[in-house]
Amino acid sequence: MMPAKQAEELILNLVEPLGAEDVELRSTRDRILATAVTSHLDFPHWDNSAMDGYAVRFEDVKSASAETPAVLEIVEEIPAGYQPQKSVLSGQAARILTGSVMPQGADTIVIQEETKREGGQVLILKSPAEPQAFVRHRGAFYQAGSLLLPAGLALKAPEIAVLAAAQCNQVCVYRRPRVAILSTGSELVTPDRPLQPGQIVDSNQYALAALVEQMGGEAIPLGIVADQPEALKAAIAHAVSISDVVLSSGGVSVGDYDYVDRILAELGAQIHIRAVAVRPGKPLTVATFPNVIYFGLPGNPVSALVTFWRFVQPALRKLSGWPHGWESTFVQAKTRQDLRSDGKRESYLWGQLHLVNGLYEFSLTTGSYSSGNLINLAGTNCLGMISIGQTQITAGDALQVLQT
């Protein structure tokens, strides 16, 4: 059995980011920039007002006060989206709104709360603190031609807003991993079928597809394959031909009907991992075909999810173009209950992670605690880890926790 950390490192060395593609701006959420972005525009695009008020010459208003206001002639009104037609000369002002273009001659904004309008004139009741007050200058935020967004950046709402403002209608991003998913086992049925004695509903197909899509990948569910070698061989060959990653669940242990490893070898795969020293999830197969990585996950639904979070998720991060931080990230938390393990394998206990007064606390899920109990996974958000050789963590002590 390979230690978990060694298995993760091996898996990450087997994958590289996928190629890039140009996509429409609206389709870039959660994608990773493949190339750096620059813009031909300055931000702001022109000198403009940061407030509603009056564009003036500082020299005309520097001594203004409520007792001795500066009286200026209003020569123009400048709403947003309007190009000023007149220059502001000495003794003049232009009415201006937030975001509007600064007129020639003016160098300062007096906010409207510090003015009083009388017909075609405005009384300035308070001197601005300094010249250029409330003026946003062209290029103050960003200068055309310089780096706008770096490659490797995950695109969320703020980054997409920046791209839109820069008129980037097509964006070069890393391709989303195509992940084929199949479930093995003659006992499995789909959720819409009535159960017969001995049958089990295939929940793995749905859970794994949701996790893949949550990671930004493209899930390709291929359904259930019976424990028949030729059918399984054809299904795996098809999955490999249409994907970057294949996830199968079941058929990787040492039972009489566990055919996956044998079939992978027959298809020419190189098998790198056959088992990992973790609980739950020991029977894990990792293999490679040219340009495809194959994960044979355990059939037990809890084990399938745990091995996805621990080993598949880091690989999907790297394939998706994350520049770093692919590895599983653990945080330290204080456990609220006593935790136990046999110490023979790295053990994962699912539960809830709480932030209390700035510190994390881990609470074990309620109900019957078993790797066969899928039900009490609902509502959990983390996996507490007990290391190899450690048999107990006492309530109040620290442990490492993987957020899921």
Mean pLDDT by 10 residues, the chain (404 residues): 96 96 96 96 97 98 96 97 97 98 98 96 96 97 98 96 97 97 95 94 97 96 95 97 97 75 95 96 95 96 96 97 94 96 95 96 90 89 96 97 95
Closest CA to 226 of 218, 238, 235, 215: 235
Identify the domain containing residue 54 by its residue range. Answer: 48-136
Tally of structural domains, the chain: 4
Q: Are residue 253 and residue 361 in the same domain, yes or no?
A: no
Q: Are residue 291 and residue 164 in the same domain, yes or no?
A: no
Measured CA distances, 154 to 25, 31, 52, 164, 326 (Å)? 13, 6, 36, 15, 13
Q: Are residue 207 and residue 315 in the same domain, yes or no?
A: yes
Q: What pLDDT is recorded for position 258?
A: 77
Q: What pLDDT is recorded for position 367?
A: 83
Q: Which of 272, 289, 319 is the last residue of a domain?
A: 319
CA angle 167, 170, 174 (to 5 degrees): 130
Q: What pLDDT is recorded for position 372?
A: 80
**Rounded CA gap, 199 and 140, in Å?**
66
Q: Does the residue 339 lie in any domain?
A: yes
Phi first, then psi, for residue 182 (nearest 5°) are -140, 150
Contact between residue 188 and residue 200 where contact means Cβ atoms under 8 Å apart: yes
Three-state DSSP class for residue 206: helix
CATH of the domain at 160: 3.90.105.10
Q: Are residue 9 and residue 101 in the same domain, yes or no?
A: no
Q: Are residue 106 and residue 126 in the same domain, yes or no?
A: yes
Q: Which of 289, 319, 349 is the last residue of a domain?
A: 319
Q: Are residue 268 and residue 203 in the same domain, yes or no?
A: yes
**Rounded CA gap, 109 and 133, in Å?**
6
CATH of the domain at 79: 2.170.190.11
Measured CA distances, 326 to 116, 265, 396 (Å)? 60, 28, 30
- Quote the tokens at residue 42: 């300055």
Q: What residues have CB less than 8 Å from 200, skipping those under 6 apart?
A: 185, 187, 188, 189
Contact between residue 56 and residue 117 where contact means Cβ atoms under 8 Å apart: no
Closest CA to 75 of 84, 86, 83: 86
Q: What pLDDT is recorded for position 38?
A: 97
Full-model pTM: 0.86
Q: Are residue 116 and residue 187 in the same domain, yes or no?
A: no
Q: Are residue 198 and residue 262 in the same domain, yes or no?
A: yes
| Alpha-carbon 173 to chain mean position | 14
Q: Does the residue 324 lie in any domain?
A: no
Q: Which of 319, 340, 359 is the last residue of a domain?
A: 319
CATH of the domain at 350: 2.40.340.10
